[in-house]
């Protein structure tokens, strides 16, 4: 049986998304939580894991930089699938009769619920911790006088003996996170259902218009750009790596030609995979009882 890694511990949004994906696989994996995104990606790169599911972008708070950096600086992993996961945050406490003085969660959910917290708990102290599951654990261990609450998944709260104080507190109810399922490079992947591709490159920013030239190479070959992101290249101030999410054209030869053209305009280019996109259905998630 293969092993799938995720950002743990049990009860995180990442674990819920990984359970959902695992339920759809023809051969389900054994699940294993890791303390950081970097650690789980490295485990795949080093062959200690068969696969993993890691967040890459949130629709409200933007890119998950550690995932992008790991993909840019490792040539050992490829993208097998993308999963779009709708995010649902609950405010959970040990005792609903105790005033909330401090609210714990991962930095992302705290930001995703910023307006709600400002309107309903303006005097509460906000504290970012390693994960939503860890926030639930901390809240369960606190004294009544601490007035602790956690923003977490329902599963994380219930596992730690918490009850729901407020449901669905995210500011935007279309809030979702994109995840990549990664495998070690060299594995044979089925690309027959591929819809998208990730292209990573470093260009010479000293040449005026070089980024424009790269984008034109994609456009004139009918490769639709859906997202662009940049990260420091770590080779010098002002030097950047670019990440392009693209829709695959009807003629796959156009994509291959575009990659070759981008190579001629870049210092280096990497294409970590062509892959299908899965959009998680809310009803399916409820049936799995993993929120």
Does residue 121 have a pLDDT over 80?
yes
C-alpha closest to that of 31 among 57, 64, 53, 55: 53
Q: Compute CA distances 118 → 61, 110, 111, 114, 149, whole Å.
A: 17, 11, 11, 6, 15
Please write the tens of the pLDDT for every residue from 104-115.
Answer: 998 889 998 999
pLDDT tens per residue across span 128-158: 998 888 999 999 999 988 999 999 999 899 9
Cα–Cα distance, 86 to 25 (Å, whole number) = 19
Q: What is the spatial distance between Cα 232 and Cα 138, in angstroms, rounded to a whole number?
A: 35
Residue 137, both tokens: 């654990």
Q: Average per-residue pLDDT in the chain?
A: 90
pLDDT above 60 (res 289): no
Say yes or no to pLDDT of 284 above 80: no
- pLDDT at position 62 is 86
Task: Please give the backbone phi and psi of residue 34, each rounded to the nearest 5 degrees, phi first.
Answer: -125, 155
CA proximity to 75, closest of 242, 269, 238: 269
Query: What pLDDT sits at residue 291?
Result: 34
pLDDT value for 281: 61
Top CATH class, 194-275:
alpha beta
On the question of pLDDT at 69 being above 80, the answer is yes
Average pLDDT over residues 167-178: 88
- At residue 210 the predicted structure's pLDDT band, cuts being 50, 70 and 90, is confident
Q: Would you place residue 287 in the very low, low, confident or very high pLDDT band (cuts 50, 70, 90)? A: very low
pTM, rounded to two decimals: 0.83
User: C-alpha distances in angstroms, 257 versus 135, 219, 260, 264?
Assistant: 48, 12, 5, 11
Question: Tens digit of pLDDT for each residue in 256-275?
Answer: 999 999 999 999 999 998 99
Higher pLDDT pick, 41 / 193: 41
CATH C-level class of 1-87+175-188+276-291: alpha beta
Q: CATH number for the 90-173 domain, one of 3.40.190.10, 3.30.1330.10, 2.60.40.1930, 3.40.50.720?
A: 3.40.190.10
- Give the pLDDT score at 288: 40
Cα separation of 274 and 190, whole Å?
9
Distances (CA, A) of 286 to 14, 58, 86, 90, 123: 16, 21, 12, 15, 33
pLDDT the model gives residue 285: 44
Question: pLDDT-based confidence at 188, cuts 50/70/90?
Answer: confident
Q: What is the pLDDT of residue 175?
A: 81
Predicted confidence (pLDDT) at residue 45 exceeds the cutoff of 70: yes
Q: Structural domain boundaries of the chain? A: 1-87+175-188+276-291, 90-173, 194-275
Asked if the domains 1-87+175-188+276-291 and 90-173 are classified in one and the same CATH topology, the answer is yes
Distance CA 174, CA 15 (A): 20
């Amino acid at each position: 049986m293969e092993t799938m890694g995720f950002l743990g511990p049990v009860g995180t949004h990442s674990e819920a998304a990984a359970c959902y994906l695992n339920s759809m696989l023809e051969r389900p994996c054994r699940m294993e939580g890791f303390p950081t995104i970097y650690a789980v990606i490295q485990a795949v790169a080093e062959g200690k894991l068969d696969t993993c599911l890691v967040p890459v972008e949130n629709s409200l708070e933007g890119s998950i930089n550690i995932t992008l950096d790991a993909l840019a600086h490792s040539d050992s992993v490829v993208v097998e699938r993308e999963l779009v996961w709708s995010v649902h945050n609950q405010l959970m406490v040990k005792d609903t009769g105790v005033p909330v003085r401090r609210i714990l969660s991962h930095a992302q959910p705290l930001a995703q619920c910023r307006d709600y917290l400002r309107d309903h708990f303006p005097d509460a102290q906000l504290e970012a911790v390693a994960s939503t599951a860890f926030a639930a654990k901390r809240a369960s261990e606190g004294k009544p006088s601490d007035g602790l609450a956690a923003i977490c998944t329902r599963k994380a709260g219930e596992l730690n003996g918490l009850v729901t104080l407020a449901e669905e507190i995210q500011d935007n109810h279309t809030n979702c996170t994109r995840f990549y399922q990664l495998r070690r490079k060299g594995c044979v992947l089925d690309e027959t259902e591929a819809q998208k591709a990730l292209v990573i490159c470093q260009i010479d920013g000293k040449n005026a218009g070089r980024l424009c030239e790269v984008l034109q190479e994609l456009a004139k070959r009918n490769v639709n750009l859906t997202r662009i992101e940049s990260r420091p290249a770590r080779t010098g101030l002002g030097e950047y790596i670019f990440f392009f999410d693209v829709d695959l054209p009807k003629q796959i030869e156009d994509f291959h030609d575009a990659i070759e053209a981008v190579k001629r305009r870049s210092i280096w280019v990497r294409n970590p995979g062509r892959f299908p996109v899965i959009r998680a259905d809310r009803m399916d998630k409820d049936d799995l009882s993993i929120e």
